[in-house]
Chain A
Amino acid sequence: MAEQAYTVASDSETTGEERSSSTVPEIAIGIDIGTSQCSVAVWSGSQVELLRNTRNQKLMKSYVTFKDEVPAGGVSNQLAHEYEMLSGAAIFNMKRLIGRVDTDPVVHASKSLPFLVQTLDIGVRPFIAALVKNMWRSTTPEEVLAIFLVELRVMAEMQLKRPIRNVVLTIPVSFSRFQLTRIERACAMAGLHVLRLMPEPTAVALLYAQQQQQNVHENMGSGSEKIALIFNMGAGFCDTAITATAGGVSQIRSLAGSTLGGEDILQNTMRHLIPNMDSYFSRHGINEIEKMGLLRVATQDAIHKLSTQPSVEIDVDLGNGRKIYKVLNRKEFEEVNQNVFEKCASLINQCLSDAKIEVADVNDVILVGGCSNIPMIRNMVTGICKKDVYSGMNPLEAAVRGAALEGAVASGVNDPFGSLDLLTIQTTPLSIGIRADGNNLVPVIPKNTTMPARKDVFFTTVHDNQAEALIIVYEGDEEAVEKNHLLGYFKIMGIPPASKGVPEINVCMDIDASNSLRVFAGVIMPGEQNPSAPFMEIRMPTVDDGHGWCAEALNRTYGSTLDLVTVQKKVQH
């Protein structure tokens, strides 16, 4: 395990760290890399503890400043003022950018951030750069994340006095598998091994399972199944989950998520204040960056204040005689962000219907994340669920605490008092399938399938004497195949000559508990027991950057010559 192949150089990293030779299993730490804030927690032997940085902060701002030769992240760095983060030298919101191409609307929405996000709109990775000594210096979201993770790792190693390698990371539900590989890449660059990637609401669900378990022990309460709805909205993403909990086992019934968060609310409000904001700031000059920082901070403050007071005064001087003065009341703020709240509501309703749960069956409603303080969000959630919000959790710490619990459970730690007698049973947030039946996505593993999962579907050829078949694997739930995330592609060769519809092509997908996907495929002729050619096993995703083009190129080169259709076949047990 002593492979230290990829480590991002960092001056704060103490080299020659003493390796403690303890025989106890290394307990994986839980990390919640939020879009705006980040936290680390670990099982201390009797409970979960959040680690603090040298400035005694439990929640650290997620950003990396490229000031001098050496970049510094929000763990070690002390900001003189919030404006410093908005000077263009700091990269933040990397979670919204990682693994996205420059045609993605989320990337386009990030163009109003103070640092440079340049798009060519051709489906490649966007150009991201920080302002260093009046020059744009390029970087990548993975690199920024890795630098930040190294700082977190150093902090944890100093406090726990042991090397840290295994981590459990929380991720948004809506992340594609390609984005997950980017997160894993960033971790590898930081010398960390990802033990588990947990969708944020499922981490919260595990914490809930532990709390329910403790209630049962203490109050001799009923150990019957409890259904909880979890709504998590942070700066970058919005996720919901339904979990059925009994006996310390949290079984996820459904997941739904979208790229909708406080950042969208902030930008909507900023646009409300300056309707022509995008053109106003598009030049990205030093002067504009500074003004944009002023507006951003003022708007952020105003939104925070609106959570407790009915109206707020915004007063920003944008220079050149341009001043913004406005009294924003809560009603106006809610109208401006109407579309965000509506989408959140539809996410909850979708989650309920996917889980086949009636609102009346929900025992607890858990509201977490930075946006959970917004009165409109609270009203919306309690309005749908017709129930008050569960009060037993800190909304900003729930996810990282759950991740730390999972880290301890998956590291094989036992607790004599049964506090770790827990298990989370995860489901797939998106369907995974292949292109077949024309230009459709045929799911092999449907969404909300319990993991680990293995399923297979039979396909057959569409042409007589078709010798090869193209398998293109996608992830997503859109019927039109190109709207989903491409994961990879390969060819099945050596199909024996036969009329169309005769050869049987079996495509099997296997997802293990650590969420790694393998695709098996091969061809069998009817009546034969052995496959005609060796089967194939492919780990997915195999695509790299610019993958949007690959599907198009395949389509252009092969058309429908290597197509497949599904075979209606009785399910076998």
Chain B
Amino acid sequence: MLASFSISQLSSPKSAEIHLRLGSNKSIYRRTRSIAVRCSERKKNYYELLGVSTDSSSQEIKDAYRKQQKIHHPDIAGEKGHENTIKLNKACEVLMKEDLRREYDASIGLMRLGATSSWKGPLRPEAIFVDENACIGCRECVHHAGNTFTMDEAVGTARVKLQYGDDDTQIEISVDSCPVNCIYWVDTKELEVLEYLIRPQPKEGYGVFGQGWERPANVFMAAKSFNKQFKRKVENQKRNARPTDKE
């Protein structure tokens, strides 16, 4: 395997353990700056860098990119903006391309809407769902029904990629083979909510505390309360809508 070293990463903290400095600080050129190794800040992911949510549209990303550029671009911030602008350019380049963005999302352990399962054949009343909180990543299910289940290598859990991707007996075997019984037959109507909730969501931080990604500890309870809230919201909307109708 090739060593994972590249000069372009030198300024990122990931390579902070590499004790290397390129170029001389006492260079005679007026525009030369050293590519110093910095290890102070935690590496921000591209979404944090641009200050957008993980489900933001490409328009929102573009707007955020422009806003950030107006702060960091070397024309405005001077030479110190060089490194930041390079990071912004990289972030924008990746997030604006659907395939690169999906790849990146997977690499930071994030699943977007594209990560929900699709169906082989017609919809059935029951769907298969993996509770990724319980999954231990044993790969048994992928082994028995590789067209239905897949491993998310970034987070180390199994997930359904294609409902009924294999024939029913293979799926039965793989469900039975799960040592922690984390594969469930769920109501197809429930599936969308469950698959949404199992995805880690960014968590608001308070200063330096509590930032990160989280998902509900019990996804089925969370789905129940989500549905309840959703129903209430719909009813509220109806109630609010009625008076305006009369006017």
Contact = CB atoms under 8 A, between A and B. Distances in A.
- A, B co-complexed: yes
A423 B73 contact: yes
B79 interface: yes
Contact of A513 (B3, B23, B85): B85
A370 interface: no
B173 to A, nearest CB: 34
Nearest to A411: B75
B22 interface: yes
A526 B107 contact: no
Contacts of A458: 2, 6
B107 A452 contact: no
Interface of B: 1-9, 17-20, 22-23, 29, 31-32, 35, 46, 62-63, 66-67, 69-70, 73-76, 78-79, 81-82, 85-86, 89-90, 92-94, 104, 107
Nearest to A193: B30
9 contacts: A424-B75, A425-B69, A450-B89, A452-B85, A508-B6, A513-B75, A520-B7, A535-B20, A572-B6
Nearest to A406: B75
A526 B3 contact: yes
Contact of B63 (A246, A406, A535): A246
A16 to B, nearest CB: 27
B39 to A, nearest CB: 15
Contact of A246 (B1, B3, B22, B66): B66
Interface in A420-434: 421, 423-425
A73 B179 CA distance: 88
A539 interface: yes
A455 B2 contact: no
B203 to A, nearest CB: 22
A567 B4 CA distance: 13
Contacts of A567: 2
B2 A504 contact: yes
Contact of A516 (B18, B31, B66): B31
**Chain A, interface residues (CB within 8 Å), range:** 35 or more
A247 interface: yes
B82 A572 contact: no
Interface in A200-252: 225, 246-249, 251
B84 to A, nearest CB: 10
The 8 closest A-B pairs by CB, nearest first: A513-B74, A508-B7, A537-B23, A456-B8, A249-B66, A450-B89, A410-B75, A520-B7
Nearest to B21: A535
A512 interface: yes
Contact of A454 (B2, B67, B69, B86): B86
Contacts of B8: 454-456, 508
Contacts of A421: 70
A74 interface: no
Interface string A241-282: 000001111010000000000000000000000000000000
